[in-house]
Amino acid sequence: MRKEMYGYLAVIAAACMWGVGGSAAKALFNQNITPFLLVKIRLTLAFFLMLIGLVCYNRRMLFIPRREIVYFAMLGVGGMALLNFFYFYTISLINVATAVFLQYLAPVFIAVYTVVFEKEPLGIRRGTAIALATMGGLLIMLNNGGGIAVSAMGIMSGLLAALFMAFNTVYGRRAVRDYHPLTAVTYSFGFAGLFWWLVSPDAWTPATINAENWWLFTYVAVFSTVLPFLLYFFGIRFLSPTNVGVTACLEPVIAAVVAYAFLDEVMGWMQMLGGLLVILAVIVLQTGTKRETAMEKAEETV
């Protein structure tokens, strides 16, 4: 199996976990848990889980040069803390499918960055995949053809989530190139959690969180944070930023299906068609000719 296929499988698995996690977050918001509180607890739990795991597995992975602290702090704040907040804040304002679609405009931002600043040719295959994924996501966002469930603040927050997701993908490449994904993710979670405790040092009123909330917090921390981000960073090691971004667009498909099944959100024929377009976009990326794949690999090593 080509290394690129491992990357695709890892990002697809991450997208599935995030898609389910979006509905878990919406369930918490429906129980009056704020996005600030969810993000802070999510990132803090994720960091301590990773920290304990690395201490038991290989504590040497926790050591990084002092000069890298600023780099990982920027990755943690911009690529993790702000991405998580704006993603969950958007979900709290609008429906899950719409929020996830807005975040997954990130491949467009990534493509613009790589073409303009890194002089990477977009190519027909990648361009087609981006167009298919974006159109598919737009259709997923529609509710039975009856309009789009958005607010002005929701749109702005969703676009910011997309911007910070693009930053996380592009800026995080060096982290997984120079360090193990476990190291990169642990420090990202750590600095992200620290950022939100500094911004919002107040904890919470004990009576506002019940046992069911804590089960959902734990689920979100493990299956919507630790595992998918590990898989996502693993995928970045083998794929170009554009291919990672487009493949991750499967998340809106999963999120729409889960929200339809468990949160009674509407899912019409347009959303089904949109899901098929996103799946087609991922297939297009993975079925390029050998010559195209070789050219892409050459571009990534330049």
pLDDT along the chain (302 residues), means of 10: 78 84 79 85 92 91 93 93 88 74 77 79 76 76 51 84 90 89 93 92 70 86 90 85 75 70 66 76 63 48 42
| Residue span of the structural domain in which 215 resides | 3-301
Task: Give the residue among 217, 180, 177 at the shortest CA–CA distance from 301.
Answer: 177
Amino acid code (one letter) for 91: I
Q: What is the pLDDT of residue 54?
A: 92
Q: What residues have CB less than 8 Å from 142, skipping those under 6 apart?
A: 148, 268, 270, 271, 274
| Dist CA 61 CA 182 (whole Å) | 8
Query: Would you state the pLDDT for residue 297?
Result: 47
C-alpha span between 149 and 154 (Å, rounded): 9
> What residues contact 199, with CB distance under 8 A and at least 6 apart?
none
d(CA 250, CA 231): 14
Number of domains in the chain: 1
Tokens of 66: 């002092």
Q: What is the pLDDT of residue 275?
A: 72
CA distance linking residue 114 with residue 129, whole number of Å: 15
Q: Which two tokens stand for residue 107?
A: 């491949």
103's tokens: 């975040």
142 in helix, strand or coil? strand
